[in-house]
Amino acid sequence: MALPVWRQLRTDLHPKGLEIVTVALDLEIDAARSWIERSGAEHPQLVDTAHKLDELLGIVNVPTALWVDEEGMIVRPPHTAAVERYDFSKLKAPEGLPDDLDAHIRDMLEQVKRIPRFDADHYVEALRDWVEHGASSRYALAPDEVVGGSAPRSRAVAEAAAEFDLGQYLHHAGNVEDARTHFRAAHRLQPENWTYKRNAWELVSPGIQGPTEFYDGDWLADIKAAGTENYYASPGF
């Protein structure tokens, strides 16, 4: 979980004029609460239970970040922001699992290890460069580049946002089963949106996001279908 890294970056860069806001894309506030309360962060820590950031900014996976300048203009549209240094090659399945679960988790870990990672040190260097040099930083984009670099929004993507909105509304109103109909529709309309999928899967298969009777896909099947190289979009620098 990247919260301690964001906290450290904020400590380093706040004196130089950077604020950080973290937003948990969690349907359930309580799923994010303990992480937030333990983080010790001094910056605003928000929760987006309706996934407004997906609809309004085009976010489809986490970790994702965007940079906004002093005038409220986006200078770097949403991009993969991996700031954690983590050795994924050391991941191991827990001991003592039943055979079928053990095989499923081993297969998941193999996929996790194949996901291309981006250089965390390079990301932090780019961020420092922008904080220091502002608009003259080569990492700050012009407004037309920001618009052109934001996610495409086809009719299907727009419909997926509306379906997820209905789903989250029904879910929070206590109509958990009826919500799934709309989550399924959002998954079908925008298969590349991992936040719509993983949030819904997590509710019915916590921790594993494995196959269930409720959804057509699951994390392992879907990442195999999509290809691990397509899981995180390149941050573009």
Q: Which is nearer to other proteins, 3 or 223 (CB)?
A: 3
If phi > 0 it is left, if psi is from -120 to 50 it is alpha, else beta; for residue 134 that is left
Please state, in angstroms and rounded to a whole number, the distance separating the CA atoms of residues 23 and 99: 37
Q: With contacts defined by CB under 8 A, name the span among 86-94, 96-104, 123-131, 225-233 that binds other proteins.
A: 123-131
- Please name the residues in contact with 30: beta carbons below 8 A apart, sequence gap of 6 or more: none
Q: Least distance from C-beta 58 to other proteins, angstroms?
A: 4
CA angle 213, 192, 161 (to 5 degrees): 85
Joined tokens for residue 111: 């996929």
With binding defined as CB under 8 A, does residue 126 bind other proteins?
A: no
Binders of other proteins among residues 36 to 95 (CB under 8 A) are 36-37, 44-48, 52-53, 55-59, 62-75, 77-78, 81
- Per this entry, what is the length of the chain? 237
Binders of other proteins among residues 150 to 169 (CB under 8 A) are 150-155, 157-159, 161-163, 165-166, 169
| 71 φ, ψ (degrees, to nearest 5) | -95, 5
Binders of other proteins among residues 177 to 236 (CB under 8 A) are 178, 181-182, 185, 195, 198-199, 202, 209
Q: Which is nearer to other proteins, 151 or 226 (CB)?
A: 151
